[in-house]
């Protein structure tokens, strides 16, 4: 009975209960039947009426009004870090979340970030609210970093840029825009994709479906399948694309394939929607990694681009990113920006300033910008070194003749090992290697010293678990 009441209560926005209200019997639940039922004290599960002589007291019994809320499953990516923390084995290795670690497997704060923070202290910068759209200096440099400062779309002021709560918050804001102004429009996402994409569109109530992307047979891109699915999608769909370093597969289209993808998207009047969470982390070059987005912009297409500074500037917890909407006119860009602000205001009001200042200081200062590029090159280089060593170790240890060279073809922070769920579970349960159950490992959390151990774990899981 309690749970049927709870589900009704949670469905009605007017039905917020306080213990005070229930004890006074003043409950209004917005449902005639329920109100009537609640007034019958005898059947009220929250109130136990005791009568002794002339004194009657109402005592709340220990039944939570959240009884009907079931336990949510752990997050498939961030939940891995929680499980890792709880493991006391000294061999344990966290290859779950994509967070860069040093060769000593310690978290890393970039030197340019420390310098930018010192600058902020020296300048004595204030902490007052930012405008809803974020820090102007940040919005300027973030669009320039993405598109190139001399891009026509920037010169013509056709880009609506709004600072977001990192990549996730920026995607979520764009999803809200789609839900509000393109009712019923579908978003097509790659199969597979970053797990949170589905959550974001589900929560924003935006319908989505998948297009083919990864081909397990070739351990590469299913380009024909992808093109066929984009062609078959309803005209005017949003096509979510990973700008570079596709997560989780580490497989990106070639420049020629990007051109063909753009052809189909244009033919079908689709709207490209880029998620750029790893600019600079795929190749080590910020410009090379933005080539896909720039190619679409150069065709005069309208597009959405979510950006994140979690990985490339290591600003994970600062929650700094942006949503850019490239429009065909200045006027449309101004209107889109005004509506993005309108969506942001009741969600989180305005974004945090700290990370925005760091990005503005680093990207806006030629010396710091060069230092950043060098540090990013170092981080991307370390991951490449680990990737090579893992491949060498696997090839040396696996006597079955299996070809592991696909690992070298993947780019970015991750390797998609091809291990299935049971094999991935064996990696964790037997070898204390924490990773997502789709077989993805974060090479950013691996060092040279642990490559052989990891190779032993992979060879065992691959050959001895089906």
Is 404 in the active site? no
Region near ligand PLA per CB under 6 A, out of 50-58, 164-172, 224-232, 423-431: 164-172
Catalytic member of 115, 311, 337, 389: 311
Q: For ligand PLA, which stretch binds (CB under 6 A), given 127-135, 163-171, 233-241, 322-330?
A: 163-171
Q: How far is the CB of 280 from ligand PLA (least distance, A)?
A: 14
- Cα–Cα separations (whole angstroms), residue 114 to 313, 361, 364: 11, 11, 15
Interface residue with ligand PLA among 6, 9, 15, 77 (CB under 6 A) is 77
In whole angstroms, the minimum distance from the beta carbon of 426 to ligand PLA comes to 21
Residue 365-404 contact track with ligand PLA, rule CB under 6 A, x = bound: ----------------------------------------
- Tokens for 15, please give them: 């039905």
Quote the least distance from Cβ 5 to ligand PLA, whole Å: 36
Residue 74 Cβ vs ligand PLA, minimum distance, rounded to whole Å:
13
Answer for which of 10, 22, 81, 196 binds ligand PLA (CB under 6 A) is 196
Closest to ligand PLA by CB, 229 vs 275, is: 275
Of 41-49, 123-131, 162-170, 373-381, the window that binds ligand PLA (rule: CB under 6 A) is 162-170
> Can residue 44 be called a binding residue for ligand PLA (CB under 6 A)?
no
424 makes contact with ligand PLA (CB under 6 A) = no
Q: Which is nearer to ligand PLA, 195 or 418 (CB)?
A: 195
> Can you tell me whether residue 94 is helix, strand or coil?
strand
Site for ligand PLA in 287-326 (CB under 6 A): 308, 310, 316, 321
- Please tell me whether residue 163 binds ligand PLA under the rule CB under 6 A: no
Q: Which residues of 422-435 are buried (b: 16+ CB within 10 A; e: fewer)?
A: ebbebbbeebbbbb
Other CB atoms within a 10 A radius of the CB of residue 196 amount to 17
**Is 190 a binder of ligand PLA (CB under 6 A)?**
no
Residue from 222, 229, 252, 275 carrying the catalytic annotation:
275
Query: How far is 450 from 205, CA to CA, in rounded Å?
Result: 43
Structure tokens given for 23 = 């004890």
Q: Which is nearer to ligand PLA, 65 or 172 (CB)?
A: 172
Q: Report phi then psi at 319, rounded to 5.
A: 55, 65
Q: From CA 78, how far away is CA 97, in angstroms rounded?
A: 6
- For the question of residue 311 being annotated catalytic, the response is yes
DSSP state for residue 315 in the 8-state scheme: -
Judged by CB under 6 A, the residue of 142, 163, 247, 423 near ligand PLA is 247
Give the DSSP letter of residue 273. Answer: E
Whole-number Cα distances in Å, 266 to 56, 65, 129, 257, 262: 75, 52, 40, 14, 6
Nearer Cβ to ligand PLA, position 161 or 308? 308
SS3 of residue 260 by DSSP: helix
Q: Examine residue 445 and tell whether it contacts ligand PLA (CB under 6 A).
A: no
Nearer to ligand PLA (CB atom), residue 29 or residue 178: 178
Q: Name residue, tokens 């040093």.
A: 102
| Terminal C-alpha separation, the chain | 45
The C-alpha atoms of residue 4 and residue 7 are separated, in whole angstroms, by 5
Nearer to ligand PLA, 5 or 344 (CB): 344
- Of the residues 133, 179, 275, 289, which one makes contact with ligand PLA according to CB under 6 A: 275
Smaller CB separation from ligand PLA, 211 or 316: 316
Return phi, psi of residue 51, to 5°. -120, 120
List CB contacts of 161: < 8 A, sequence separation 6 or more. 133, 139, 140, 142, 143, 322, 323, 324, 325, 337
Select from 18-26, 146-154, 160-168, 326-334 the region that touches ligand PLA (CB under 6 A).
160-168
* Smallest separation, CB 122 to ligand PLA (Å): 28
Applying CB under 6 A, which of residues 98, 243, 355, 412 lies at the interface with ligand PLA? 98
Active-site residue, 194 included: yes
Question: At how many degrees (to 10) do helices 223-232 and 255-267 cross?
Answer: 10
- The b-or-e profile of 380-419 (16+ CB within 10 A means b, else e) is bebbeebbebbbebbeeebeeeeebebbeebbbbbbbbeb
- Which tokens go with 222? 């299913």
Query: If residue 60 lies in a helix (H) or strand (E), which one and from where to where?
Result: strand 55-60
Among 94, 139, 161, 166, binds ligand PLA (CB under 6 A): 166
In the complex, least distance from residue 335 CB atom to ligand PLA, rounded to whole angstroms: 26
Neighbouring C-beta atoms of residue 12, cutoff 10 Å: 13
| Binder of ligand PLA out of 15, 97, 141, 344 (CB under 6 A) | 97
| 75 versus 460: smaller Cβ distance to ligand PLA | 75
Does position 167 bind ligand PLA by CB under 6 A? yes
Residue 188's DSSP bridge partners are: 209, 239
The residues carrying an active-site annotation are 194, 275, 311
Interacting residues toward ligand PLA by CB under 6 A = 77, 97-98, 166-168, 194, 196, 242, 247, 275, 277, 308, 310, 316, 321
């Amino acid at each position: 009975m309690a749970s049927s009441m709870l589900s009704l209560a949670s469905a009605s926005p007017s039905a917020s209960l306080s213990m005070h209200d229930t004890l006074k019997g003043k409950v209004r639940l917005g449902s005639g039947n329920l109100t009537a039922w609640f007034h019958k004290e005898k059947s009220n599960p929250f109130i136990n009426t005791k009568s002794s002589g002339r004194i009657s007291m109402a005592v709340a019994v220990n039944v939570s009004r959240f009884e009907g809320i079931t336990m949510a499953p752990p997050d498939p990516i961030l939940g891995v870090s929680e499980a890792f923390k709880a493991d006391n084995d000294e061999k344990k290795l966290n290859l779950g979340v994509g967070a860069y670690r040093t060769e000593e497997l310690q978290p890393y704060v970039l030197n340019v970030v420390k310098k930018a923070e010192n600058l902020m202290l020296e300048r004595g910068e204030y902490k007052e609210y930012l405008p809803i759209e974020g820090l102007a200096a940040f919005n300027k440099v973030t669009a320039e970093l993405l598109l190139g400062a001399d891009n026509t779309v920037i010169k013509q002021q056709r880009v609506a840029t709004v600072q977001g709560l990192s990549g996730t918050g920026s995607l979520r804001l764009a999803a809200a825009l789609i839900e509000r102004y393109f009712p019923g429009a579908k978003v097509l996402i790659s199969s597979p994709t970053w797990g949170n994409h589905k959550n974001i569109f589900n929560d924003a109530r935006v319908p989505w479906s998948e297009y083919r992307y990864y081909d397990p047979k070739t351990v590469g891109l299913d380009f024909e399948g992808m093109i066929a699915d984009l062609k078959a999608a309803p005209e005017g769909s949003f096509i979510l694309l990973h700008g570079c370093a596709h997560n989780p597969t580490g497989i990106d289209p070639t420049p020629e394939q990007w051109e063909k993808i753009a052809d189909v998207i244009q033919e079908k009047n689709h709207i490209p929607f880029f998620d750029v969470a790893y600019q600079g982390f795929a190749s080590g070059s910020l410009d090379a990694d933005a080539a896909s987005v720039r190619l679409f912009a150069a065709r005069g297409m309208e597009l959405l681009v979510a950006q994140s500074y979690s990985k490339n500037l290591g600003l994970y917890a600062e929650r700094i990113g942006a949503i850019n909407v490239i429009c065909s006119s200045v006027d449309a860009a101004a209107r889109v920006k005004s509506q993005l602000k309108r969506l942001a205001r009741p969600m989180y009001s305005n974004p945090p300033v700290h990370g925005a200042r760091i990005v503005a200081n680093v990207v806006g200062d030629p010396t710091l910008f060069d230092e950043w590029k060098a540090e990013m090159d170092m981080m991307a280089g370390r991951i490449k070194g680990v990737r090579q060593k893992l491949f060498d170790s696997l090839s040396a240890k696996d006597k079955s003749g299996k070809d592991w060279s696909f690992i070298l073809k993947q780019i970015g922070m991750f390797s998609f090992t091809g291990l299935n769920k049971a094999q991935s579970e064996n990696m964790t349960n037997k070898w204390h290697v924490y990773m997502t159950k789709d077989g993805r490992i974060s090479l950013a959390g691996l060092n040279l010293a642990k490559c052989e151990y990891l190779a032993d774990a992979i060879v065992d899981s691959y050959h001895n678990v089906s």
